[in-house]
Structure 1
C-alpha cells in the first residue's frame, strides 16, 4: 500500500475490506494511464494480469467493480476512492450515480455535510478548508455557472467537484423516448448538463449499487459520458434474467456476506421456528397471526436486553423495531388492522405500527416516509413496520432486530433483500452480546427452505443460526427499571418531593442545591479523589476545605452564589452534605477498592488430569493375511500367506503415546504422566478377553484410531490460562453502580422471601424487601442465588452487616487470555471483620476451565484488595466458591464461608 492509501486508511479508520479495496485501486492505477481515448484491450490486460477475476470491463470505458457485503461500508469506501484519486492523481471531477431517491439524498448528506455523523471525508486534511463542491441533479444550473466565483473564494485552490445524480430519474425520463432533462440545452450553461460532463477531461464515474446500471438504455447513456474511469460498488455483483443469475465480469474484489458475518461486521442472522411445527395444519390467516405473535414475543424479549446493555455500558440508547413483510397492499392493510386490535397484545402496539407501500399517496406517504427515516430515534413511537417491496437499497437502519416475512418468495430473494435490511450493527461492530449482535427471522413455514439456501456453498449467508421458540424465555411485554444505590434513590425522591412542594421557584432551587446537588458533589468527590481511601477521610479538615473550594468555583461559574447570604452558610451546608454521605457509606455501602486485574500476555497451556472413558473403545483386529491375483489367469483372488509377523511388544503404551504427541497441543515433556496413564487405561480395555497376538494386532494396526479416541476425550480438559495477572490500583474506591433490569410489565415486584413456582420463573422476577442489601430491587439467575440472599437477610444472629449483588462493571476483573472477558461476581458480603467476594456455581461446573480461570482472577483481586485495605486500617477480602446444591435456607453464612473459602 502506497503512502497516500495508507494515510487515507488511517484517517478514515477504514475496515479491513475497505482498506483492501483501496489498496487494489492503488495497485491497478499504478502504471495505468487514464484518458478520454483509452486502449481498452491494453487496459483490460493490465487489470486482468493483476486480478484474474476481471475478464471484461462490460462498458465502453475502463470500469471495475468492488463487491462489498451489505453493512460493510460502501459509502465510506466511495469517500476513500475520491480522496485517493484527488490527492494521488489530481483528479477533480467525479460523477456519482445513485439508484433511487433514497440513496441519492443519503449520498448528498454523507458527501457534503461535515456535521453529519457519517460524513465520509472526516479526517482528510486536504478537504478541511476546501471541501468538495456538491453538484446535484437539482442545482446543477446555478452550481456550474457559479464555479468561477466559487474557486476565487478559495484563492485559486483546486476544488473537487462531486456531481450526484439519481439514475431512476434519468430512466423515467427516457422511457417515453424523449431526451432526458440533463441532455437538454440549459439557458444558464449554453449547453446541456450532459455535454458539460462529457467535456470534462478527468471525469471519474462512481456507480453506487451498480447492479442497477446494466440495462441497455442506462448502459448507453453512461457510455456516452466517456469517463476516464468507472468505479462500481455493489453488494450484489450480478443481474437476474429470469431464474438465471448473470455474474459481473469486471469484479476485482469480492467480499461476500458470509465473510462479513464471520469477520463480525454485521449481525448474525438466526432463523426462528416452533419445534415440531406443521404449517399445513393452519390456514394462511392463522399462520400469519402465529408468526406475528412469535415475532413480537421475540421483540419484547430483545428490547429490554438491548436497553439494559446500553445503560450498563454507557452507550446511546438503541430502540429495536420489527419489520413485517406483507404479500401485497391488501395484505398489509389486513395485518395493520390485526395489530391494532385490542386482543393483539392488549392493544399495546395499536399506535406503534405503520405501513409503507407504493400505493400510498400525498401527505400519508410523506408522513410515513418521515416516520420510517426516523425510526431509529428513541422518541419515535413506531416499533413495527409493515412493508410491501418498498425497502431496498438506501434504508440503512441499524436497529432492526426482528423480521417476520409473510409473503411468498424464493428464499434467495428473502435473504438478499429482506434480511439485508437488518444486518447493520448499531455501533459498527459486534459487542459480543447476543441481544446486540443477532437478527431474528421468524419463518415457521419457510424454515427448511431458508436453512437449505443458507447452507449452499454459494449462498449469500452460508451459515445461519437456528433458534427454537422453545429455547426463548418470552413471558410478555417487558419494561426496564433501574435500582440505584440507596443514597441516589433517596436523592431522587427528595428532588421529586421538592418539585411537588408548594413553595416558590427560588426556594425550590435552593433546596434542590442544598439537599440534592451538594450531596451528589460530595459523593462524586469521595469516589474520584486519590487522597481519599475510606469514608472516614471525609471528616478531615483539609478534605472539607477542598470540597468547599470546589463547590464555590462551580457556584461562581453557574451564578449560584446568590442562593446564600454568606460563605459561612455555604460551608455549613457542605458539612451537612459530607455527614450525610459519610453515614450512607458506613451503613449502606461496601468499600470496593478500585483495582484492575488483567491476565498477563504470558500464558500456559495444557490438559487437566482425568480418567479415560473406555466404554465405547470397540476395536477389532485387522487381517494381516497376504492375498494374490494372478493377472494372466481368470481365477479370482487367493490367500497367499497367513497373517502373523514378529513385533517388539516391550510396551504398547509407547506406540500409543508416539501417536498422541503428533497432535499440536500435546507436549510430551509437560504431559508424559497423563499420556501414559490414558494409554494404559485404553490398553487395559483392549486386553479384556483377548490373547497377546490379538492385542499386538490391534495396537499395531489401529494405533491412530486409539490415539484419536484418547485425544477426543482430552480436548474438553484443555486449558489456556495466564501465568500471572497485571494489577493496577487506584487510590480511591468505587461507587456502588446501579442495576438496570428487565421486568415483565404485568408482573408485580415480589418479596425476596416469597416462594416462586416453578423455580425457572425466578430469573424473570424482580424482588424487593431487603434490609441489608445495597440495592432496593434485585434479580437472581437461579433459586440457589435467591436462597443465598434469604440466608444473608434472615439468618438468626447473622454476622452479615451489608451485602451487594454487583451490577455489571462494578469490578474490573478480567479473565481469559485469547478472548478476555469481564468477571462479574454473584455477591459481595461484609461482616464485622471481613469482606467476601462470592461465586455460586453448579457442582458440575466448578472444576471447568472457565470457572477456575475466573477464580484465579478473583483471588488476585482479593489478595491486592487485602493489601490495600491493610495500609488504611480496613478489612481483608476473601474469595468463596459455593456449590449451588449446598445452599439451603437452614445453612449459616459463616458455615458456608469457612467450608468453601478458596485460599489466596
Structure 2
C-alpha cells in the first residue's frame, strides 16, 4: 500500500482505543460525502492539503493517510459534530465500559492521537495550528484560536527536534500547509523557551518543554504549593520583562483561549507528576478572569498510556498502528537476522557471550557502507546492551578491535528508566541532531552503543542494523517497541521499502533472548517480521552519473509556470455573459393517475390520482446546484458568494422567461435530472478556468542531467550506452523495451528516463480541475539537435488528454523561448509493439499516419 492510500475501516485491524473504531466509520463516511457542515475556510484547507499537488525540496510531496485521518478526525469531532467533552464522545462512539477515565480532566476539549513512530505527528500538529489559526481569523474567534503552546516531553532531544521544525516558523514555510493566496495573512510568531518574552503577540506559538511548567527537582507537594502561590497573583500584571525559567507559567496566566499541543504526551500523565494539575488550575483561572479557559488540548504519542497503570488514554480519537505504518511504507520494514549455527556462549564477558552476533552486525554494516557510498549516505550501526556495564565492555571491543570503527563509536549510558545520564546528554543531543550528515567533521560517529532501555527520541534515519544483545536467561522487562523504535525512520523517505533491494529495511540481529522480544512485538501488533540470512549479500541498486558518459548529458529548460492557482472570484456581471438555456415552463398538471386492471377480465378495478412530488423550497434546490458546481470545479470556501449568482441565473436566464421561484412548475422543473445536468454543465464549462491564473512563461534556468545526485532504485533498470546514468531507471517492462530501442536507434544522440530525482515536471489542470504535476517518461536528444518529450503509455486514462495538451504547449513555449526544436509525442504500447523501428524518425512517421 502507498502512504497516501485511503483505507476503509473494514481494511483495518480493530483498535483497542475506546472511541476509535466507531469514529473511523463516521469520519470515512463524512469524507465520502465531501466534508459537509464545515466552514468555508476549513473546506479550502482540506482541498489544498489533500487535493492539490505539492513540491517540497524539488520533489513531489503528499500528506500521508495517517496524517490526513488525524486532522480530519479532529475537524469532524470539533467542528462538525461539536463534541467538546469526553462524555459526549463516549455516548456516541464508546465501546463498552470506560477504563482509566478521570472526570477532573473533562473541563475543556481533550483529544489524543496514537500514531506510530515515524508517522509524522509533528505534521499533524502543524496542520491543527493552521486550521485553528485561519478559522480564528476568517470565521469566528469563539471556537478557534491564534495562540498555541507546544510542549515537548521530558527528553531534551524531543524538544530539540521540535525546535528545529518550528523555530522562526520553518515548518509553515517549508511544507504545503498554507494556501498560497493566504500566505501574507499568516503572522504567527514562534517563541522558543530560550527566547525572552517582552510582549505577548496576538498570534503566537510558545515552544517549551515540561520542565518549564514543572521543575524536576520539585516534589509533588512542593509543586502543588507553587501552583497555589502562582494563582494568588493579581489578575493583571506586567509580563514585559519575564526572563526567568518559569516565565511560561506567568505568561499563560494572561493567554485565554490557548490551544495546547503535547508531544510524547504519555510522560505528562504520570500520576507522580503534578503538572497536569497545573493545566487544570490554569484553565479554571483563565475562565474566571477572562470568561474563556483553554481552547483545547491535543495529546500526541506512539504509546499514549497512563502511568503506572499502562491503560490507553480513553480520549484517543485516532489510532494508527506500527503494523499499518509498515504496511503503508511509512517506516522501514524490520527484519530478523538469523546467524547460521550461532550459539550463546556461557561467559560472564559480554563480548565473548555475544561475539557471533556482534561480528555479524559489523559485517552487515560494512556491506551497507560500501553500497551507500555513491549516495553519500552514512549507515549507522546500533548496539543495544542489557546493562551499562555490558555496554562499556562492548564499547571497548568495538572501538579498539574494529579498525574501521575506531573513534567512531558513541557510548550512551542510561538510568533505570531509560533516561540518558546527564554526563552523556550533551554529546548525545548533538549526535542526534547531526547523525544523518555524512561529513565526518560534523559528526564522526557511525555506531551507537547503549542499553535496551533507551527511550524514544533517539530514532534517526540512518540506522540500518540493530544488534540487540539480551541473554535467554534475562528477566529484565524490555518494551518491544524500544528494540526497533530506534531505527524505524526511513533512510529514503520518498522510496517504498524493498526487502530484496535492501531499501528502507531495518535489520535486527541478536540471540534467542532478543528474538523473544521481537516475537512479542509480532503478537502485540499482529505483524510477521520476516527472517533473512545475514550471510546473504546486499542487492541495493544505485543510479548515478557515469563519468565516462558525460557526452550524453542533456539540458532541460525550466520555464516559469504557465498555470498557477488564484483565489476564485466571479463578478455578478459575468452572469450576463452566460447564455440562456431557454428551458420552457410547461403548463402540465402536476399529478399522476394510477389504474389497476383485472388481469382476467381486463376491466378497470382501481383508479387513483395523486399529486406529483414537488420540492417545497427552491433555496435547497439552488443550494444543491451551487454545491455541485463548486465541487466539480474543486473550489472551496466560495459558497456564500457563489450561491446568489446561481440563484440570479435561475431566476433571470435559465428559463425562456423570468420566473417566480415559488411557482410549482419552476420547482418541478428544477428538480428534473435534465435541467440539473444542463445547468451544472453550463457553469462548470464556463468557469473551469476561473480558479487558475495563466501567464506567458519565461525561461528561468536549466536542469543538467549531469548534476543529478545519486539515488536508489527498487524497480527495473537497463544499462544503456546513450544514457548518462549507469542504468536507465524504468517502471515497467515496456519502458525497458523502449529504452533498448532508443539505445540502438540510429538517430538518437542521448536520452534518459525522467524520474522525480531529475527535478523536471510540467504543471497541468487535471480532469477533476486540480493543479497537478506531470512527469513525462523520456527526454531524447537527436543527432540533428532536435529534442523530444515522449510519454510511453500502456493504458490511456482520463488524465492523459490533459497531460498531452499541456506537454504539447510546453514544447511550443520552450521552442519559442530557447530557439531549440522541442516536440511532444505519446507512444502507446500497442502501437510501439506493432512494428520494429530502427530510428525515432521511423517511429514518429509511423505514428503520425
Name the SS for the 1:341 alignment partner.
helix
In the superposition, relative to structure 1, how do residues 393 and 47 fare at CA in structure 2: closer, same or farther (>3 Å)? Answer: same
Pick from 146, 168, 188 the counterpart of residue 132 of structure 1: 188
Matched, 1:235 2:278: no
Task: Give the counterpart of 2:429 among 364, 369, 375.
Answer: 369
- 1:15 paired residue among 64, 84, 99: 64
Distance 2:278 2:516 in 1: 40
CA contact (8 A) 1:68 1:256 kept: yes
Deviation at 1:238, TM superposition (A): 2.0
Other structure's SS at 2:259 match: strand
Whole-angstrom distance in 2 between the partners of 1:815 and 1:11 = 31
Within-5 A mapping of 1:432-831: 432-433=497-498, 434-446=501-513, 448-456=515-523, 459-460=524-525, 462-472=527-537, 484=546, 486=548, 488=550, 524=553, 804=721, 810-811=727-728, 814-815=731-732
1:400 matched to which residue of 2? Answer: 463
Give deviations 1:6-25, integer Å, cap 9, x for gaps. Answer: 54345554321111111111
CA contact (8 A) 1:812 1:823 kept: no
Question: Partner of 2:340 in structure 1?
Answer: 275
From 375, 381, 396, the equivalent of 1:337 is 396
156, 161, 169: which one aligns with 1:106: 161
State the match for 1:175 in structure 2.
219
Q: Which residue, out of 22, 30, 49, partners 2:79?
A: 30
Preserved contact between residue 340 and residue 351 of structure 1 (Cα < 8 Å) = yes
Higher relative contact order (CA 8 A, sep 6+): 2
Gaps of 5+ in 2: 1-34, 50-61, 136-142, 284-293, 558-703, 750-793, 795-827
For these two proteins, the number of residue pairs brought into alignment is 526
**How far off is 1:735 after superposition?**
9.1
Give CA-to-partner distance per residue, 1:36-57, whole Å, 9 cap, x none: xx8x5xx622464156589546
What is the distance in 2 between the residues matched to 1:116 and 1:221? 29
The offset of 1:28, in angstroms, is 1.1
Q: Secondary structure at the match of 1:431?
A: coil
The match for 2:266 is 211
Deviation at 1:219, TM superposition (A): 2.9
State yes or no: 1:200 paired with 2:255: yes
In structure 1, what is the equivalent of residue 112 of structure 2? Answer: 65
Q: Is the 8 A contact 2:339 2:360 kept in 1?
A: no
What residue number does 2:210 align with? 166
**1:80: which partner in 2?**
127
Q: Which moved more, 1:256-265 or 1:86-95?
A: 86-95
Relative distance call for 1:807 and 1:341 in structure 2 (3 A) is farther
Sort the Cα spacing of 1:370 and 1:196 in 2 relative to 1 into closer, same or farther, 3 A: closer
Q: Distance in 2 between matches of 1:10 and 1:410?
A: 52
Q: Quick one: structure 1 residues 212 and 824, their matched pair in 2 at CA, closer, same or farther if it must change by over 3 Å?
A: farther
Corresponding residue number in structure 2 for 1:846: none
337, 345, 367: which is aligned to 1:301? 367
Out of 461, 465, 486, the position equivalent to 1:421 is: 486
Secondary structure, aligned partner of 1:272: strand
SS of residue paired to 2:532: strand
Matched, 1:92 2:92: no
Q: TM-score, normalised by structure 2?
A: 0.53
Determine helix, strand or coil for the equivalent of 1:366.
Answer: helix
Separation in 2, partners of 1:53, 1:253? 18
Q: Distance in 2 between the 1:834 and 1:481 partners? A: 22
Pair 1:321 & 2:380 matched? yes
Alignment partner of 1:866 is 2:783: no
Q: Tell me, yes or no, if structure 1 residue 357 matches structure 2 residue 420.
A: no
Q: TM-score, normalised by structure 1?
A: 0.50
State which of 191, 195, 199 in structure 2 corresponds to 1:146.
199
**Structure 1: where are the runs of 5+ without partners?**
151-157, 311-316, 489-519, 530-733, 743-780, 790-802, 836-852, 877-904
| Partner SS state of residue 64, structure 1 | strand
Q: Aligned equivalents of 2:530 and 2:542: distance in 1?
A: 27
- What residue in structure 2 maps to residue 189 of structure 1? 239
> Per-residue CA shift, 1:154-179, capped at 9, x if unaligned?
xxxx5244353334871504227434
Q: Structure 1's 389 and 200: CA in aligned 2 closer, same or farther, altered over 3 A?
A: farther
Q: Secondary structure at the match of 1:238?
A: coil
1:325·1:406 contact (CA, 8 Å) conserved in 2? Answer: yes
Cα pair distance change 1:483/1:255, threshold 3 Å? closer
Q: Give the whole-Å Cα distance in 2 for the aligned partners of 1:348 and 1:809.
A: 29
User: Equivalent residue of 2:412, what SS?
Assistant: strand
Shift of 1:377: 0.4
